[in-house]
């Protein structure tokens, strides 16, 4: 069987067969949830972005979301932040119109030993995730740490802030206090159990948004016009393991009598 596979890989049919298998093979639970979140995030961005909107992509990684931001807002001024040096250089080459910072983001400036998970880069962060598998290869890389407020000139309106930092969300938000207060942007936020590595909780993240009169939704709820989550609802969603991507934005005005 192994010889047959080796032979098949050398034929012109292999890319076709591999692509076909990816389409028909059963998807894992995580793949299904990721696909759901990707569809919903795309629908949200289509609603809230205009051709001249400005956006920030924190944890831009390979640029999947960044490409969508640029496509939907071609006249906007976009900022991308990516601490893994190789990925940052690739983003600079692929998105020449975007300001790309090869750095991590937090609530203070300086340098830090970034935990680059070489075998699974999406799990990299300023702190090592406690749930990494033993076989993962982790390399410490010294990187600059910057605040969003230092990367965005005062008075610049930000429509969308995307945050994917494997648990360091609270630090990013605290370092973006001016931007949040001035723009109250829509925030695409990944948040889950990895926050514990930073000594923060879901309640801390919710309180930081509330300080700026912002609320948190399940993305599907926002698209359907349903109200934002209560703190209990947010905690239940995070603890369910079914949700790790959320939308935050200006809280609805309270109903008047």
pLDDT tens-place string over residues 38-69: 999 999 999 999 999 999 999 999 999 999 99
CA 120 to chain centre: 16
Q: What digits encode the pLDDT tens for the residues 177-190?
A: 999 999 999 999 99
**Residue 137: what pLDDT?**
96
Place of tokens 């299904």: 32
**Residue 26: what pLDDT?**
77
Q: What digits encode the pLDDT tens for the residues 199-250?
A: 999 999 999 999 999 999 999 999 999 999 999 999 999 999 999 999 999 9
Local confidence band at 2 (pLDDT 50, 70, 90 cut-offs): very low
Distance CA 98, CA 238 (A): 32
Mean pLDDT of 1-17: 54
Kindly state the percentage of the chain with pLDDT values over 70. 89
Q: Quick one: which of 32, 38, 41 has its CA closest to 248?
A: 41
Identify the three-state secondary structure at position 21.
helix
Distance CA 90, CA 1 (A): 38
All residues at 6 or more sequence positions from 168 whose CB lies less than 8 Å from its CB, including other chains: 104, 105, 106, 125, 126, 127, 195, 198
Region of poorest pLDDT, from 15-19, 31-35, 204-208, 243-247: 15-19
Q: What phi and psi values does residue 115 have, to the nearest 5 degrees?
A: -90, 95
**Residue 3: what pLDDT?**
55
Cβ atoms of residues 192 and 220 within 8 Å: no
Distance CA 144, CA 226 (A): 40
Q: What digits encode the pLDDT tens for the residues 239-256?
A: 999 999 999 999 998 766
Architecture of the domain made up of 28-109+147-250: 3-Layer(aba) Sandwich (3.40)
**Residue 130: what pLDDT?**
85
220 C-beta neighbours (distance < 10 Å), count: 16
**Residue 27: what pLDDT?**
81
Query: What mean pLDDT is reported for the chain?
Result: 92
Q: Going edge to edge, which strands form the sheet with 160-163?
A: 99-101, 78-81, 55-58, 160-163, 186-190, 245-250, 214-218
Region of poorest pLDDT, from 19-28, 73-82, 192-201, 217-226: 19-28
Whole-prediction pTM value?
Answer: 0.87
Structure tokens at 98: 């975007």
Q: Going edge to edge, which strands form the sheet with 110-117?
A: 104-105, 138-146, 110-117
Cβ atoms of residues 209 and 177 within 8 Å: no
Cβ atoms of residues 132 and 163 within 8 Å: no
pLDDT at 19 over 70: no
Q: Give the pairing type, strands 55-58 and 160-163.
A: parallel
How many residues make up the chain in this entry?
A: 257
Mean pLDDT of 121-131: 92
pLDDT at 16 over 60: no
């Amino acid at each position: 069987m192994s010889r047959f596979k080796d032979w098949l890989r050398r034929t012109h049919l292999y890319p076709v067969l591999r692509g076909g298998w990816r389409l028909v093979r059963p998807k894992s639970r995580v793949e299904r949830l990721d696909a759901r979140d990707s569809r919903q995030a795309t629908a949200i961005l289509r609603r809230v972005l205009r051709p001249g909107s400005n956006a920030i992509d924190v944890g831009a990684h390979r640029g999947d979301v960044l490409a969508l931001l640029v496509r939907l807002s071609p006249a906007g001024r976009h900022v991308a932040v990516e601490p893994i040096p190789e990925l940052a250089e690739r983003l600079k080459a692929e998105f020449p119109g975007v300001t790309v910072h090869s750095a991590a983001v937090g609530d203070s400036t300086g340098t830090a030993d970034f935990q680059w998970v070489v075998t699974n880069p999406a799990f990299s962060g300023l702190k090592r995730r406690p749930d990494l598998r033993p076989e993962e290869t982790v390399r410490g890389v010294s990187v600059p740490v910057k605040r969003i407020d230092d990367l965005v000139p005062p008075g610049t309106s930000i429509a969308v802030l995307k945050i994917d930092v494997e648990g360091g969300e609270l630090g990013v938000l605290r370092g973006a206090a001016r931007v949040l207060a001035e723009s109250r942007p829509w925030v695409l936020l990944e948040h889950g159990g990895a926050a514990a590595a930073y000594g923060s909780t879901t309640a801390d993240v919710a309180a930081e948004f509330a300080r700026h009169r912002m609320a948190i939704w399940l993305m599907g709820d926002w698209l359907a016009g349903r109200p934002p989550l209560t703190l209990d609802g947010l905690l239940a969603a995070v603890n369910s393991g079914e949700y790790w991507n959320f939308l935050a934005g200006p809280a609805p005005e309270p109903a008047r009598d």
